[in-house]
Amino acid sequence: MKGLFITFEGSEGSGKSTQVSLLAGRLYGLCLTARVLREPGGTPIGEEIRHTLKHSHANAAMTAEAELLLMNASRAQLVREFIRPALAKGEIVVCDRFYDSTTAYQGYGRELHLPTVKTVIDLAVGDTRPDLTLLLVVPAQISEERLRSRQSTLPFIRDRIEEADHEFFERVAQGYEKIAAAEPQRVRKVDAAGDVETVRREIWREVEKILPPGRVGA
């Protein structure tokens, strides 16, 4: 039996990681084997690439093209090392970001040539495509407030990608809208401005539609 591949997308602070954990807990509760992964990263090689992309002291001069290739080097490794083997075993793979992030951030955000971005993604993923993508949508003001409140509890760690300007993140959000409009069956928009439990329920309504029969619940 082929497994199920579910991805989460959205702006930073939209609540993806929170909801990925809740969904995984729910799936475990139904005795379904779920593998939780994240991008960039998720493999030992990918986590090194993640560090280079986000936190390395030497990354300030990184070009958009290098960023595109590194995101997809991490992805190519993750797909072959973990995602395909898990799906082949019939497991459910839940991934915090996948290739729609590249289209949104490197394509629309960095304004790289979209057909080239697509070619690079195609090389990285081949025919490994999500069955369902949950796009968590929140107004920028709410995600910024959530991030501020999280940061106030953590030590400061510089993140190169977060240093981009406001217009970049507006283009990313508009890019996500275009991605969702182009593939409404796969990409389900979720209003993520509500409280954690309300968002969890909305996500579950989408997930249960694709679960094997007899594996659903409130």
Can you point out the beta strands (E) in the chain? 4-10, 34-38, 92-96, 132-137, 187-191
Piece of 5-13, 55-63, 179-187, 202-210 that binds ligand Z5A (CB under 6 A): 5-13
Residue 133 identity = T
91: contact with ligand Z5A by CB under 6 A:
no
Pair of tokens at residue 2: 């082929």
Residue 82 is a binding residue for ligand Z5A (CB under 6 A):
no
The DSSP symbol for 163 reads G
To ligand Z5A, the closest distance from the beta carbon of 39 in angstroms equals 4
- Pick the closer one to ligand Z5A by CB: 3 or 40: 40
d(CA 165, CA 127) in angstroms, rounded, equals 34
| Chosen residue from 185, 195, 213, 218 binding ligand Z5A by CB under 6 A | 195
Position 200 contacts ligand Z5A (CB under 6 A): no
The answer to the question of residue 94 lying near ligand Z5A (CB under 6 A) is: no
Determine the angle formed by the axes of helices 16-29 and 196-208, rounding to 10 degrees.
60
Asked if 145 touches ligand Z5A (CB under 6 A), the answer is: no
Minimum CB separation from ligand Z5A for residue 77, in Å?
13
Q: Does 18 bind ligand Z5A (CB under 6 A)?
A: yes
Considering the rule CB under 6 A, would residue 70 count as an interface residue with ligand Z5A? no
**Paired tokens of 16:** 């993806």
Within 30-165, residue ranges assigned H as helices are 44-54, 64-78, 84-88, 99-101, 114-125, 140-151
Q: Which is nearer to ligand Z5A, 196 or 210 (CB)?
A: 196
The reply to whether 114 sits near ligand Z5A by the rule CB under 6 A is: no
Q: Are 94 and 37 in contact (CB under 8 A)?
A: yes
Here the tokens at position 163 are: 């240093």
Choose between 89 and 151: whose C-beta lies nearer to ligand Z5A. 151
Beginning with the edge strand found earlier in the chain, give each strand of the sheet holding 34-38 in spatial order.
34-38, 92-96, 4-10, 132-137, 187-191
97 counts as binding ligand Z5A under rule CB under 6 A: yes
Q: Does 7 bind ligand Z5A (CB under 6 A)?
A: no
Measure the CA dihedral 25/27/31/36, to 10°: -80
Task: Pick between residue 3 and residue 13 the one whose CB is nearest to ligand Z5A.
Answer: 13
> Which residue ranges make up the site for ligand Z5A (CB under 6 A)?
10, 12-18, 39-40, 71, 97, 101-102, 105-106, 146, 150, 161-162, 195-196, 199
